[in-house]
Structure 1
């Protein structure tokens, strides 16, 4: 399951464990391609929490993290950014990246 988060819920939703945040917008073509991949991974990767944040509606958090291009995925562990992936990436490539952050 992918959780929809906002500026107001960001800190609480990303405070513990490994969390992948998909920064996206409804008008973004590559974001529309990335979304089903994130949904699949969320259903398969049990030790990782997946979240989505609409940058149009949540500019404060996107600005704080310097999100300049979308889609951007931030990988966080216990509230700290440990990796960033910019642009569309196929499932196999994201699985390789996420393997570094799973037990």
Structure 2
């Protein structure tokens, strides 16, 4: 068993994909800081909950993009290489995301 398969895998992303993902994460991070400020300022609960919902939506969008890319690249490459176990990994991942 190689180190890659037993411990962790890595994926190289092109510049555009990397920048898009980081941009989204930076926006989400900013939204989280905004929620923290709202709590500090003792803002109305419904206003805070609305912002939390927006963060959840942004994270879901991030997951959809990342999952789509994963399927189109990593999963396809593994199947073409004869590693059909990647399908089980994908199914488990989708189950976790749908909790």
The TM-score range, normalised by the shorter chain, is: under 0.3
Determine which structure has greater relative contact order: mean sequence separation of CA pairs < 8 Å that are 6+ residues apart, divided by chain length.
Answer: 1
User: TM-score with structure 1 length normalisation?
Assistant: 0.25
* Higher helix proportion: 2
* Higher strand proportion: 1
